[in-house]
Amino acid sequence: MTLHAIAAYVGYRWKAKDLHGVHSPFAYDLNEHVLRKSKGCEGEMYKWLPLKYNMLLGRLQAYYNYSRVLRLPPQDEDPEALKYDILLMDATIPGEWISLFNRYRGLIKNNSMVLLEGIHTTKRHTAKWLRLQKHPAVRMSIDLYGVGLLFFKEEIKEKQHLVLKYQI
């Protein structure tokens, strides 16, 4: 664990909110029904993603009825020109996060999300995370320390960034 990751974790623990600190109806619902839920892990398991984030991904898929997941960069060939519910980006490619996001952004629809693993692993990871959460199409970003979630929900009128508690 890098010194940056340790400092980021201390900052995360200081800022992270639970149900009582969340005012957004969407974030409150996410917090109550996905982050605080202790069971359930449907969906595909990704070897590169730690178990607790695989469980989170499964709960997100189950709760929001997400079925189409695309890992970036694609493992085989370019994906079909379909709409996806979730784009997954892992910590091994932070230098590519921006270009991959821009390249595949058109494949996700309203009510979709991007999950980035390892957003505080290094200063570079955190800088890329901060840059992506400022993208105009992102309506809500949620920092769970180990992963970041970017939501594309047109009904969220005011851009929001939240730091929420997530523990198995």
pLDDT tens digits, one per residue of 67-94: 899 888 887 767 777 889 999 998 777 6
The reply to whether 168 falls in a domain is no
Per-residue pLDDT tens for 148-167?
Answer: 999 998 888 889 999 998 86
The reply to whether 108 falls in a domain is yes
Q: Which residues pair with 89 in a beta bridge?
A: 72, 116
Task: Calculate helix-pair angle for 3-15, 123-133, nearest 10 degrees.
Answer: 40
Q: At residue 146, what is the residue type?
A: G
Per-residue pLDDT tens for 121-138?
Answer: 999 999 999 999 999 999
Range(s) of the domain holding residue 61? 3-163
Please state the domain count of the chain. Answer: 1
Q: How far is CA 137 from each of CA 15, 44, 114, 151, 153, rounded to the nearest angstrom?
A: 25, 27, 12, 9, 9
In the block, tokens 């957004």 appear at 24
Determine the Cα–Cα distance for residues 134 and 155; give it in Å rounded to an integer: 17
Determine the Cα–Cα distance for residues 130 and 133; give it in Å rounded to an integer: 5
Per-residue pLDDT tens for 100-110?
Answer: 999 888 888 88
Work out the average pLDDT over 22-41: 80
So what's the pLDDT on residue 41?
58
